[in-house]
Structure 1
């Protein structure tokens, strides 16, 4: 990259501008939404023993962590703050890892719905809290594979002296050759293909059960079917993120300003928004979680009310104000 241009999280920044300020406002809003959902999870103990909510909490925390890390890198890049390459490598490992945790978690949540609906007698055994903890470890292990591939080819292509240098940190700094980018895209596409197969398989099996079910069982199965469709939509948003580089290459052929605008829009629409709005929608759809969320929100509002100074206006004025 040129000295006056840097890339972070799919967003090009030439210099601190109004775009960086807009991103900070959106990050604060989205981070507050995710924190409210996470607090709701930790406040209700019954969520801690359910595989469904444990995986949902994992997705929330990984997205929030990725949101914070990508925003820090964005600000550092905007102000052209340099760091040691080895420090950038450590930060990039975390970013690359948690960039994959969400889609893999979505696939795991889909399988959990498949087991709950199609194998109800085995659900308590296969989706126990202990098994879910093991599943979370497996999710992190699978999510680390793309990161290991990208870093392995990077380490094999550079000399050790580069780790003593200082530069603006960016995940794209590991893409030294065109075949590096092709390998990265191939690994990501393979992962998402496997996850799409998992979701289609689960949808097909649940749909067969829905046709054979009746009464309350049918309603429960249909809710599970809608949940799988929501997971498919969330996965589609993550998949579109993989197509962004191809769109940006085409935009670069037009002009640099158009390329920067397209990449800025991609960062907002396909990286920030889906990782915050989709979990909110998922939480609102679940009746149990929605009630817990309303209770938590009421508690937060009550704390805010306690912090206000008492109203010392005369009763007649207060009555007029209330009217």
Structure 2
């Protein structure tokens, strides 16, 4: 039977069914990898707390902070994605809390990458003073400063939201899906967001690039360990890539807004799903993949926990070699 002979009711029911089927399909395709990467990130976090030597090494403490922020951000993003997919409308206060938590954790990543880059710079350019500069106490102070700076940004956003006349609304129930853009209830909020994001990523980019240049200059010195300098250079390049991917997430909403003016809603929804995976999920799991595979110290312990200890015992030689590698790197 041709579509021209079908009644409008049947066509509408079929379109609704196709729309529901497509939402379920896209939700599955995004939720499955997100759950997998949440498991990997969670295992990585457990790994970094499973050994005393990880808990007492500054670079692994910073890595734990980076992974924790990325994991929370990925979980919040997936929660908000599921809420939007299920077409659930939240109230402004609930949406505001979710967005503020997301803003807080999203700013932690670039700031932590800056601290990690500076740590590598000190390790290569000032190897004799590294142990006195990069201490556990100083690392803790740096992490507190990162969270305090990000919290100050969230507090500023809350104060800007308080200027909106909520009493003029008939209901606190939102008429659109909960998103960061939906919470820009005034021009000041949107302007502040653009200014802060630009300042944050320009500053972070300059800090990482400066650290990279400093390591490159130090690598030409005869007194510098070439292997250590080469490894630090590659690490800083990865940090720059991670920073770039984090920056891409800030373009997510503007891209969707631009697409909404030129494409149909169904195309927009498909583009939104693709961008969500590429911009939110993939960058948040990159740290685990990079350090879990690249770092020979973490790799054997991580693989042991990822396999849920179903493998025979991790070879004692591999673990001893792992611990000796860490201890050697600390001296």
Normalised TM-score (structure 2): 0.80
Q: Which whole-Å deviations, capped at 9, do the CAs of 1:192-232 have from their partners, x for residues lacking one?
A: 000001011101111111111468x1111110111011100
Counterpart in 1 of 2:324? Answer: none
Q: Note if 1:103 corresponds to 2:130.
A: no
Quote the Cα distance in structure 2 between the aligned partners of 1:279 and 1:36: 9
Displacement of 1:284:
1.7
Displacement of 1:248:
2.7
Q: Which whole-Å deviations, capped at 9, do the CAs of 1:68-103 have from their partners, x for residues lacking one?
A: 122122222322334443233222221110011111
Displacement of 1:240:
1.9
Counterpart in 2 of 1:239? Answer: 247
Counterpart in 2 of 1:57? Answer: 64
Q: Note if 1:169 corresponds to 2:175.
A: no
Quote the Cα distance in structure 2 between the aligned partners of 1:31 and 1:261: 23
Q: 2:268 aligns with which of 227, 242, 259?
A: 259
Q: Note if 1:277 corresponds to 2:286.
A: yes
Aligned-pair RMSD on alpha carbons?
Answer: 2.5
Instruction: Call closer, same or farther: CA 1:213–1:290 in 2, change over 3 Å.
Output: farther
Instruction: Call closer, same or farther: CA 1:162–1:26 in 2, change over 3 Å.
Output: farther
Q: 1:31 aligns with which of 33, 38, 45?
A: 38
Q: Note if 1:291 corresponds to 2:321.
A: no
Displacement of 1:149:
3.4
Unaligned runs of 5+ in 1: 1-12, 304-323
Q: 1:92 aligns with which of 83, 99, 120?
A: 99
Contact 2:181 2:253 in 1 (8 A): no
Counterpart in 2 of 1:210? Answer: 219
Counterpart in 2 of 1:222? Answer: 230
Q: Which whole-Å deviations, capped at 9, do the CAs of 1:160-196 have from their partners, x for residues lacking one?
A: 5769723353332211345533431221011000000
Unaligned runs of 5+ in 2: 1-19, 313-331
Counterpart in 2 of 1:248? Answer: 256
Contact 1:251 1:259 in 2 (8 A): yes
Counterpart in 2 of 1:149? Answer: 156
Range moving further from structure 2, 230-239 or 293-302 = 293-302
Contact 2:76 2:102 in 1 (8 A): yes
Displacement of 1:54:
0.4
Q: Which whole-Å deviations, capped at 9, do the CAs of 1:115-140 have from their partners, x for residues lacking one?
A: 11112233222221122111111111
Quote the Cα distance in structure 2 between the aligned partners of 1:265 and 1:107: 29
Quote the Cα distance in structure 2 between the aligned partners of 1:184 and 1:258: 27
Query: Where do 1:4-15 residues align within 5 Å?
Result: none
Higher relative contact order (CA 8 A, sep 6+): 1
Moved beyond 4 Å, runs of 4+: 160-164
Quote the Cα distance in structure 2 between the aligned partners of 1:90 and 1:254: 32
Residues matched between the structures, number? 290
Contact 1:85 1:164 in 2 (8 A): no
Contact 1:49 1:128 in 2 (8 A): no
Normalised TM-score (structure 1): 0.81
